[in-house]
Amino acid sequence: MSTFGLFGIEIFKQFRRLRTHIGTFGLLGIVLAVAIGLKYGDASHFVGRLTRQPNFQIYGSPVNALFLARVVLPMTVFLFLPLFVSLVAGDQISGEAADGTLRTVLTRPVNRFALLSAKFTLAIVYVGALTAFLGVAALTVGWALFGVGGLVSFGWDGVSYFGIAEGVHRLTLSYGLAAVYVLAVASVAFLVSTLSSNSLVPIGVTMALMVMCGVLGQIPYFESAKPYLFTTYSELFLRAFDVPVDYPALRHGVFALLVYVVACFCVSALIFTRKDILS
C-alpha cells in the first residue's frame, strides 16, 4: 500500500482516539477563559503583567479579536501546545506497540518506511491543524465578544500598533513560526515513540527535554551550545511583532528547527526499519 493510502488509514484511526480531541477542547477552554477574563476583568492589570509594568494604565480598550489571538499564543506555545501535540505524536508508534496492533500490522506486507512516513505526516498535519484551530478559535471568540480592530501588541520592549491588515499579517506569521517550533517538539516525541512501547514515555521524555534544554540555555557556561538547543527558538514567534521584523533571524530560526525535524525523522526511520517488533 502507498504512503498516501496508509496516511488515509492513519487519519481515520487517529480521529477515533480520545487523545486526539484533548488538545482541541483544551485550547478552546484556554481561549474562553482568557476572553472572559478580558471581558469582565481589569485589562490594565492584565497588560501590566504582560509588560512587567505593574502600574500600567490604559485609557480606552485595546481588546478585540486580534488582541485575543495575540495574547493566547504565548500562553499556549510554552506548554500546552507542545503537551497536546506530544500526546498525539508520541503515541504514533509506542501506542500501537503497547496495544499490540503494530505487530499485527507489520505481519502483513507493509513497507515500514511508508508506514512511518504516513504516521509522521499525520503528526505534521495535526500540529498545523491544532495551531490553526487556536488562531481561528481566538479570532472567532474575540470577534463575538469584542469586535474587530487594529492590533495593539504589548511586549517587554514597548508597545506597537498595527492596522487590521498588518495585524492579521503579523498574527499569521507568528502562528506559522509557532507551528514550526511545536513541530520540532512533536518530532522529538515521535522519535522517542519509536524507542518505547509505552505511550506515556514519549510525553514525559519530551517535556523533560524541554525543561532541561531551557535550563541549559540560561546557564552562561553552556552559551556555546545554545544555538543547538531547540528550546532556544521557542520565542521565535514573538519576533513577528518586532518593528521592523528581522527576517534573516526568522529564517535562521526556522532553518534550525526544520533541521531538528528532519534529523528526528531520519533517526526514527533508521530505528523503526531495523527494529525487531515481530518477535
What is the number of domains present in the chain?
1
How many whole angstroms separate alpha carbon 196 and alpha carbon 266?
17
Phi, psi of 160 (to 5 degrees): -125, 150
Exposed, middle or buried, 7 (CB in 10 Å: 0-12/13-18/19+)?
A: buried
**pLDDT class of 279 with cuts at 50, 70, 90:** very low
Over the stretch 243-267, which tens digit does the pLDDT of each residue have? 889 999 999 999 999 999 999 999 9
Q: How far is CA 23 from CA 27, 129, 245, in A?
A: 6, 11, 31
pLDDT of residue 15: 79
Domain of 244? 3-274
Higher pLDDT, 111 or 22: 22
% of residues, the chain, pLDDT over 90: 54
Higher pLDDT, 106 or 260: 260
Q: Per residue in 72-97, is it b (16+ CB within 10 Å) or e — as a string?
A: bbbbbbeebbbbbbbbbbbbbbbbbb
In-domain check, residue 202: yes
In-domain check, residue 172: yes
Cβ atoms 267, 116 nearer than 8 A: no
Over the stretch 118-146, which tens digit does the pLDDT of each residue have? 899 999 999 999 999 999 999 999 999 99
In-domain check, residue 79: yes
Phi, psi of 153 (to 5 degrees): -105, 120
Higher pLDDT, 38 or 55: 38
All 3 cell numbers of residue 109?
A: 506486507
Cβ atoms 131, 175 nearer than 8 A: yes
Cβ atoms 233, 257 nearer than 8 A: yes
How many whole angstroms separate alpha carbon 193 and alpha carbon 7?
18
Say yes or no to pLDDT of 58 above 70: no
Nearest to 71 by CA among 37, 114, 100: 37
Over the stretch 64-77, which tens digit does the pLDDT of each residue have? 999 999 999 998 99
54 prior amide bond cis, ω within 30: no
In-domain check, residue 109: yes
In-domain check, residue 256: yes
Over the stretch 209-232, which tens digit does the pLDDT of each residue have? 999 999 998 999 988 999 999 999
In-domain check, residue 130: yes
In-domain check, residue 279: no
